[in-house]
Amino acid sequence: MSSQTIPVVDLRRFLDGDADDQRGFVDALGHALVEYGFVAVDRHGIQRPTLEAAYGAVKALFALPTEVKRRYEDEAVGRQRGYTSFGLEKAKDVGVPDLKEFWHIGPELDDTHPQFEKLPKNLWPAELPELRDAALGLWTGLGKVAVTLLRAIARYLDADEHELVRMIDGGNTVLRVIHYPPPDPEDAAKGAVWSAAHEDINLITLLPEATEPGLELLTRDGKWLPIAPIPGQLIADTGDIMLRLTNGFMPATTHRVVASKEVTRERYSMPYFVHPTPDYLLRPLSSCVTPANPRRYPDITAQELLFERLRENGVAKTVPHAGA
C-alpha cells in the first residue's frame, strides 16, 4: 500500500472516543486543514460495496453514446445537475479546457423541505436506471461524514457546530462523478491536463479513492505534492466558502489532477462538494475576526459566490432564479 503524503486522521476517534480522543482528533484535523487545506480520513464508514456499486454505475454512465449524455445537459441551471460535456470546463485564467466530462447529482429533498423549490432537480438517465440508487447510496454516506467533519471543524474554530451543520441542510451539495480519458501526448503538447490548477468553491470536499493517481496540491513553498488514492481513505479539503467563513484562516488550497508518465489508463473519481443552502449569507465567523485578523470579505450569498465561480469556469452564464 502506498504511504500518504498528507496528515491522516481516524474518524472513529471522534465518533467513538472519549473526550481526550475527540480533542486529539479535532486538533489534528484543524492543524492539517490550516497547514495544507487537505487531510486524509481513515475509518470514515463508507462501505466497500457502496463505493464499488457507484463506480460500476459511473463507468456505465460514461460509456453511453455522447448524443445520449448530452440530452441531460442543462445550461439553464449552470449544469449543476446532469451532464457537462467533455472539454467544456476550464480553470480560471487557463486558456485550454480540462480533459474531462462529468455528471452532477444533488440532494433528493422531500417536497415539504423549505429548500425543495430552490434547488435544481436531479437528471437521471432513462438508459441507466441503476445509477440512481448507486449514486444516492454514496451521496448519503458522504453526507454523514461531512456532518461529522463540520462538527469537528466548528470545535476547532470555537464556533457553533450546530450552525455549521444547519447551513448545509438543503444545501446545493453535489456529487460530481468524473471521467478522464487516457493520457494523450497531443493534449499534453497543448498544455491540457485532466484538471488544471484551481481551488474548490465550496465548504469542504470529500473524495473517495479515485481509480488512478493524479491529484496534487500546491504546498506553501510552491511545490506540487502528490496525494495517493489509498483504498479505504477519503481525502477532504476546504474551499472558497470555508475560506470566507474563517476569514482566511483555513485556506482554499490550489490543486490539480495530472497524469504521471506511469499512468496509461482512463481515470474515474467522485468528489462530493458540500455547499450551504443557496440563500445562506456568507460572513466570517466571529471567532475568526480579531484585531490581528480584521474582516477581509464582504457579505455574499452562497449561490452568488457559486455562480460567480461557475461563470469564471465557463459552465454557467447567469445566476438562475430560485427553483430553476
Q: What is the CATH number of domain 8-313?
A: 2.60.120.330
Per residue, what are the HEC states of the chain?
CCCCCCCEEEHHHHHHCCHHHHHHHHHHHHHHHHHCCEEEEECCCCCHHHHHHHHHHHHHHHCCCHHHHHHHECHHHCCCCEEECCCCCCCCCCCCCCCCEEEEECCCCCCCCCCCCCCCCCCCCCCCCHHHHHHHHHHHHHHHHHHHHHHHHHHHCCCCHHHHHHCCCCCCCEEEEEEECCCCHHHHHCCCCCEEEECCCCCEEEEECCCCCCEEEECCCCCEEECCCCCCCEEEEECHHHHHHCCCCCCCCCEEECCCCCCCCCEEECCEEECCCCCCEECCCHHHCCCCCCCCCCCEEHHHHHHHHHHHHCCCCCCCCCCC
Identify the pLDDT of residue 131: 98
- Global confidence as pTM: 0.94
pLDDT given for residue 321 in this prediction: 43
Residues of the chain below pLDDT 70: 1-2, 314-324
Task: Please report the pLDDT score of residue 322 as a whole number.
Answer: 39
Residue ranges per structural domain of the chain: 8-313
